[in-house]
Amino acid sequence: MGAIEPARDVVHFVGVGGIGMSGLARIMVARGAEVSGSDMSQSTVTEGLERIGVPILLGHRREYLPGNATMVVRSAAVPDSNPEVAEAKSRGIPVLRYSKALGMSMEGRKGITVSGTHGKTTTTAMISKLLCDAGLDPTFLVGGLISEEKGNSRAGKGEHYVVEACEYAESFLDLKPRIAVVTNIESDHLDYYGTFKRIKKAFERFISMLPPDGLLVTNADDPECMSAAINAAQCRVETFGIEAPASVRPASLRERRGRYSFDVVAGGRTVRNLGLLVPGRHNVLNALAAAAVGLSVGASPEVIASSLSEFEGVKRRFEIVGRIADTTVVSDYAHHPTEIKAVLACARKTLPRRRIICVFEPHQGSRTRQLMTEFASAFAQADEVVLPDIYYVRDSADEASKVTSRDLEREISAAGTRAVYVPTYEGIVEYLRRNVRRGDVIIAMGAGTIERLPARIVAMLREKFATRRFEAAPRRFVPKLVEQIMARISRRDVDPLPRERMAHAT
């Protein structure tokens, strides 16, 4: 099948509510295709598509497939038995999985892909912003919301097409980039790959597909990335890193409350005065990768520094969703042990001397079981971990029966961190109502529906602290209260407070 020709295509998306699927649907709409979609439930993502004219149908039925459809795109979670997929096949309409359709939409452009076990979304968003700020007018598709207004994709007129490339089910092998970033390589998606060796081989296959005049940008601090580059790269390789020798590295690295500033040294060029708004040492690596790509496509050091210094992050990547009575609520997508460690390290730096309560929804039974030891030690920097039921996805009934959140609760507790199993979101909100204290940090993390929980926690905190007016008052107002009391004393309105009561008031 040839390249997608949006102006002549009528495309139906099955599972359109997924972040990648919805982003590709937006790009096709912008390029002139007629687009429709279906999903099991409504969401802010599907509502956003409806606002740009995409009809969204709830559930899955044969009659949902438009009579003039020329193509069906389905997410990786949609089976062959889906009624719309079955109807398309009966009519002889091509059915493409998302990654295949994405690869076809990139044809004719200079593809820039970002893959790796962690950091894909943030690095893709950084590169996309940088190319926009450099005036290169890229098309991009990020695996997370940049903001409610900007969504996660854009159809530009420039020659570059920036996408997040997922390794699950070897999906990234459907893409043909000119430039590829590989952030790190670790054990994940073992339900598909089975062993780390197979994961590594998939990354090596992906790297080997880069053309001789292409570019691989990879992490010198990750031995598996360096091994894969040596084994498979047939093109120029640029490395980035903090600890290991790298062609793109930070100079004068400084940290204040978890946020880093530095210069970037790349060969004979220097990007000066880069100060990140997004916290965490892992984001230094993400920014170095983005800077390497920026320099390779001709962005000036000045644009790179200003663009990355203005980058505000991606939703659900250490996103502070509320501060109520000095209690901070954070939402994060972390669902792998390495990501959990990075988030908690970031919290300790940016919100020091606070009690950290981590609400973690395990994502997928097979991942929880196969990485149980790593999960158990990942929460060492939390004071307490609250565990709802596992969010089972792609798990067979047999796999789901092999592990529960209670198993993880026992392992985390044995590793030395307090853990408690509270199966439902309703129960968690009530548990926090009883146990949270002013000044605590609550981090809700996971890749499932836990993204809905932080708003409920914030609402609970407003109610909890509203009944304790003095405690809920921000600290900056306390001196004002003392001034008011002293003014009343000077006017002899009230009897002076005993000394010990005045000390308590301050």
In whole angstroms, how far apart are CA 55 and each of 29, 50, 52, 151?
12, 6, 9, 18
**Of residues 502 and 359, which shows the higher confidence score?**
359
Q: In which residue are the tokens 């149908």 written? A: 57
Instruction: State the CB neighbour count (10 A cutoff) for residue 488.
Output: 14
Residue 123's SS3 state is helix
In whole angstroms, how far apart are CA 415 and each of 187, 382, 394?
21, 12, 28
Whether residue 490 has pLDDT greater than 50:
no
Angle 320-147-424 from CA coordinates, rounded to 5° = 50
Helix, strand, coil share (%) of the chain residues, nearest 5: 40, 20, 35
Q: pTM of the prediction?
A: 0.86
Q: In which residue are the tokens 């990335």 written? A: 225
In whole angstroms, how far apart are CA 329 and each of 7, 422, 503?
45, 18, 31
Structure tokens at 390: 């596992």
In whole angstroms, how far apart are CA 60 and each of 11, 37, 63, 369?
16, 10, 9, 32
| pLDDT tens digits, 277-286 | 999 999 999 9
In whole angstroms, how far apart are CA 430 and each of 331, 357, 464?
18, 14, 11
Q: In which residue are the tokens 């954070």 written? A: 330
The pLDDT assigned to 491 comes to 42
Whether residue 504 has pLDDT greater than 50:
no
The pLDDT assigned to 145 comes to 85
**CA dihedral of 388, 313, 340, 121, whole degrees rounded to 10:** 90
Query: Phi, psi (5° rounding) for residue 71?
Result: -160, 145
The pLDDT assigned to 227 comes to 98
Instruction: State the CB neighbour count (10 A cutoff) for residue 105.
Output: 23
Q: In which residue are the tokens 């505000």 written? A: 312
- Minimum mean pLDDT range among 2-6, 356-360, 494-498: 494-498
d(Cα 417, Cα 404) in Å, to the nearest integer? Answer: 18
d(Cα 142, Cα 160) in Å, to the nearest integer? Answer: 14
Residue 375's SS3 state is helix
Q: How many residues are present in the chain?
A: 506
| pLDDT tens digits, 132-169 | 999 999 999 999 888 655 679 999 999 999 999 999 98
Instruction: State the CB neighbour count (10 A cutoff) for residue 464.
Output: 19
Pairing of strands 139-141, 160-164: parallel
In DSSP terms, 275 is beta-bridged to: 261
In whole angstroms, how far apart are CA 264 and each of 113, 246, 275?
22, 11, 11
Alpha helices in 19-119 (DSSP H): 19-30, 44-51, 83-91, 98-105
Catalytic residue annotation:
120-121, 164
Asked if residue 387 lies in contact with residue 362, where contact means CB atoms within 8 angstroms, the answer is yes
Structure tokens at 217: 């940008």
DSSP 8-state secondary structure symbol assigned to residue 9: -
Whether residue 388 has pLDDT greater than 60:
yes
The whole-chain average pLDDT of the chain stands at 90
Q: What is the mean pLDDT of residues 397-419?
A: 95
d(Cα 375, Cα 361) in Å, to the nearest integer? Answer: 12
* Pick from 186, 239, 200: nearest CA to 216: 239
Asked if residue 320 lies in contact with residue 310, where contact means CB atoms within 8 angstroms, the answer is no
d(Cα 158, Cα 296) in Å, to the nearest integer? Answer: 16
Confidence of residue 267 (pLDDT cuts 50, 70, 90): confident
The pLDDT assigned to 151 comes to 77
The pLDDT assigned to 494 comes to 37
Which of 222-230's residues contact partners 24+ apart within 8 Å by CB, and which partners? 222/183, 222/184, 222/185, 224/184, 224/185, 224/186, 224/200, 225/116, 225/182, 225/183, 225/184, 225/185, 227/200, 228/182, 228/185, 228/200, 228/203, 228/204, 229/182
User: Which residues neighbour 398 within 8 Å (Cβ) at sequence distance 6 or greater?
Assistant: none
| pLDDT tens digits, 328-343 | 999 999 999 999 999 9
DSSP 8-state secondary structure symbol assigned to residue 147: B
| pLDDT tens digits, 193-251 | 999 999 999 999 999 999 999 999 999 999 999 999 999 999 999 999 999 999 999 99
The pLDDT assigned to 404 comes to 96
Whether residue 126 has pLDDT greater than 60:
yes
The pLDDT assigned to 394 comes to 84
In DSSP terms, 300 is beta-bridged to: none
